[in-house]
């Protein structure tokens, strides 16, 4: 083989490895049944797909270079089917769109095509007049869906709810959205089906529970988080209705207290409708108490609205709770590659656990706190703090019991006017994840511990973090170590009186101790055998004695 052939072979091998290591964005465009992706590849400047929640139409915008003037304007009404993805994972279908706008601009010449979801017809948003009497949610959704040529899919939880008499004097879209709002539900049209389901349920209509999508700090280009005291301070919503028996206007208030209530102007037809309307508005206010957006540097085509997400590496207020996507924007750009922008809102616990019907005479202040967390398989757990006579219910769903506990304690301190800086902690608790299970380690006395909010990746790092925090609480600064023959990087303080080390013994964790146990230092590593633990304890104990001697 010649030198040149060998060089070409080496370069080809390197290229193949790079191609597999660095996947490229791929896409497929089918217009009126014809795949034109390959033909448009050298012309594609940008493609943006916006996936909305509810009945707001999903949209697509495609920008094509027409530098040579060879592109023809496609006909209005043409249908585009789109899939996007990555070369190493494949394509994900993103929907069917109808071209409803064409734009040609220049110079340089650019052809822009805009389309909206082909599932929504114009007649769906036209005003209609008719009545429904004695119908269930399933009845009305089915009637409207079939008129639009769609397949109705209704959650079992909502399907059999019977509605009061309805006189429709609005579009089908407005009517079905209004019904969804009253019952804190989502109605949307996707891939030829009309879906009607509880908001934030985290499940498909077949009962399949969506896995929580993890998003890590290093996956994002930028983010923006804000919270609004205005929304968070609303403690209830009042809605009026007309009582036919008493022939007068009545009201119902839903929330947590009547301290700061919002009143709805529209008068409902009965108490049941007013209650649902107030509940839905209270939930809407609570879900928008925080706003959060996140831009992913590498696009994730599998994301869609209503999928639950968990974030890592940001602030505890962001990382501790579950978020729901409300709008997902996928952008494939010739210069910047494939990115995904997320708009999110907080995932609320079930309506009946975060609010209740409030009596006018109820002016009692909060006596405690309840926080809710996700257990799995559609189940929700709760933790409490303080007297539960009239607790404040935190209107967000936490990732686990630990983060819910931290939040409940923070809120309880606020209610009671306790300054956290004045709390005398007796120890520190840190958490870490092991095989998908959240575990904790404790340094000091667990009577009144400070709980570190951020979960560590390993037990060793959790121990080190807890020890650092415990030393800081007591005002102990680590002593700088000098060079030694030991390869250990542990920094010991002469204030320690002994050394401990943990090791595995079957399913148990046992401890080796050396020296006075009034204030021992626990080595962060979990040793595999008693022998290695004893060796480490002896080594570090000798270092500790040497440090004490040098200090004298």
Tokens of 535: 């060796």
The owner of tokens 């089918």 is: 30
Instruction: Measure the CA–CA gap between 335 and 223, rounded to whole angstroms.
Output: 21
Q: What is the pLDDT of residue 118?
A: 66
Instruction: Measure the CA–CA gap between 84 and 94, rounded to whole angstroms.
Output: 7
Q: Return the C-alpha torsion angle 546, 549, 550, 552, nearest 10.
A: 160
Peptide bond into 107 cis (omega under 30): yes
Q: What is the pLDDT of residue 174?
A: 86
Q: Return the C-alpha torsion angle 451, 456, 458, 459, nearest 10.
A: -10
**Domain range summary for the chain, segments of one domain joined by +:** 16-117, 122-198, 423-474, 498-550
Local confidence pLDDT in tens for the 552 residues of the chain: 455 554 445 445 544 544 556 788 999 999 888 888 888 888 899 999 999 887 778 899 999 998 888 888 888 888 899 999 998 889 999 988 888 899 999 888 999 999 988 666 666 778 888 888 888 989 999 998 888 888 888 888 888 888 878 888 888 888 888 888 888 788 888 778 888 888 776 666 566 677 888 888 888 888 999 886 656 678 888 888 888 777 788 888 888 877 788 888 888 878 888 888 888 888 888 888 888 999 999 999 999 888 889 898 888 888 888 898 989 999 999 888 899 999 998 888 776 666 676 765 556 688 889 898 888 666 788 889 888 888 888 888 888 887 888 888 888 888 888 776 677 888 888 888 777 666 788 888 877 788 776 677 788 888 888 888 888 888 876 655 444 434 445 667 788 888 988 888 776 778 888 888 888 888 888 888 888 888 888 888 888 888 888 776
Residues facing residue 368 across a β-bridge: 386, 391
For 349, other C-beta atoms within 10 Å of its C-beta total 24
Whether the CB-CB separation of 231 and 283 falls below 8 Å is answered with no
Distance of CA 114 to the CA centre of its chain: 30
Distance of CA 75 to the CA centre of its chain: 40
Percent of the chain past pLDDT 70, that is, above it, reads: 85
Across the chain, mean pLDDT equals 81
Q: Do domains 16-117 and 122-198 have the same CATH topology?
A: no
Q: Please give the CATH number for the structural domain made up of 16-117.
A: 2.30.300.10
Q: What is the pLDDT of residue 126?
A: 81
Q: What is the pLDDT of residue 487?
A: 41
| Residue 364 dihedral angles phi and psi, to the nearest 5° | -70, 140
Peptide bond into 108 cis (omega under 30): yes
Q: For the stretch 403-440, what's the b/e string if a residue is b when 16 or more beta carbons lie within 10 angstroms of its beta carbon? A: bbbbbbbbbbbebeeeeeeeeebebbbbbbeeeeeeeb
Instruction: Measure the CA–CA gap between 254 and 276, rounded to whole angstroms.
Output: 9
Q: State the fold for domain 122-198.
A: Phage tail protein beta-alpha-beta fold (3.55.50)
Instruction: Measure the CA–CA gap between 31 and 74, rounded to whole angstroms.
Output: 9
Q: For the stretch 356-378, what's the b/e string if a residue is b when 16 or more beta carbons lie within 10 angstroms of its beta carbon? A: bebeeeeeeebebbbbbbbeeee
For 498, other C-beta atoms within 10 Å of its C-beta total 18
């Amino acid at each position: 083989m010649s030198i040149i052939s060998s060089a070409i072979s080496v370069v080809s091998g390197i290229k193949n490895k790079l191609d597999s290591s660095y996947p490229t964005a791929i896409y497929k465009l089918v217009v009126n049944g014809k795949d034109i992706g390959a033909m448009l590849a050298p012309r594609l400047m940008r493609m943006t797909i916006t996936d909305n929640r509810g009945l707001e139409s999903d949209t697509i915008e495609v920008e094509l270079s027409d530098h040579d003037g060879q592109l023809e304007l496609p006909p209005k009404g043409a249908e585009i089917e789109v899939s996007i993805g990555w070369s190493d994972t494949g394509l994900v279908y993103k929907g069917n769109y109808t071209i409803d706008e064409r734009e040609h601009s220049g110079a340089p010449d650019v052809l822009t095509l805009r389309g909206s979801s082909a599932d929504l017809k114009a007649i769906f948003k036209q005003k209609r007049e008719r009545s429904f009497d004695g119908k269930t949610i399933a009845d009305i959704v089915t009637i409207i869906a079939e008129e639009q040529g769609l397949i109705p899919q209704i959650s079992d939880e909502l399907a059999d709810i019977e509605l009061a008499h309805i006189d429709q004097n609005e579009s089908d879209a407005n009517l079905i959205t209004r019904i969804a709002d009253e019952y804190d539900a989502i109605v949307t049209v996707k891939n030829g089906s009309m879906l009607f389901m509880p908001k934030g349920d985290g499940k498909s209509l077949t009962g399949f529970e969506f896995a929580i999508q993890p998003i890590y700090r290093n996956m994002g280009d930028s983010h923006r988080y804000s919270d609004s005291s205005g929304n968070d301070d609303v403690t209830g919503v009042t809605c009026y209705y007309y009582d036919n028996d008493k022939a007068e206007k009545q009201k119902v208030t839903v929330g947590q207290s009547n301290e700061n209530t919002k009143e709805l102007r529209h008068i409902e037809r009965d108490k049941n409708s007013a209650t649902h309307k107030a509940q839905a508005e209270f939930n809407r206010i609570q879900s928008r108490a925080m706003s959060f957006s996140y831009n992913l540097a590498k696009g994730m085509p599998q994301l869609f609205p209503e999928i639950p997400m968990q974030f890592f590496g940001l602030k505890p207020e962001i990382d501790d709770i579950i978020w729901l996507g409300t709008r997902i924007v996928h952008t494939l750009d010739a210069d910047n590659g494939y990115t995904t922008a997320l708009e999110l809102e907080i995932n609320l616990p079930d309506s009946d656990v975060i609010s209740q019907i409030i009596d006018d005479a109820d002016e009692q202040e909060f006596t405690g706190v309840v926080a809710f967390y996700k257990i799995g398989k559609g189940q929700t757990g709760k933790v409490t703090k303080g007297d539960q006579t009239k607790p404040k219910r935190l209107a967000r769903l936490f990732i686990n019991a630990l983060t819910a506990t931290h939040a409940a304690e923070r809120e309880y301190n606020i209610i009671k006017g306790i300054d956290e800086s004045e709390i005398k902690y007796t120890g520190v608790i840190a958490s870490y994840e092991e095989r998908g299970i959240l575990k904790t380690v404790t340094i000091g006395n667990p009577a009144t511990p400070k709980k570190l909010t951020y979960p560590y990746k390993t037990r060793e790092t959790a121990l080190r973090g807890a020890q650092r925090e415990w030393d800081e609480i007591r005002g102990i600064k680590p002593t700088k170590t000098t060079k030694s023959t030991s390869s250990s990087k542990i920094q010991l303080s002469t204030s320690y009186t002994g050394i401990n080390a943990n090791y595995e013994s079957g399913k148990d964790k046992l401890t080796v101790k050396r020296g006075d146990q009034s204030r021992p230092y626990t080595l962060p590593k979990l040793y595999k055998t008693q022998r290695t633990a004893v060796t480490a304890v002896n080594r570090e104990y000798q270092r500790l004695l040497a440090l004490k001697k040098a200090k004298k």
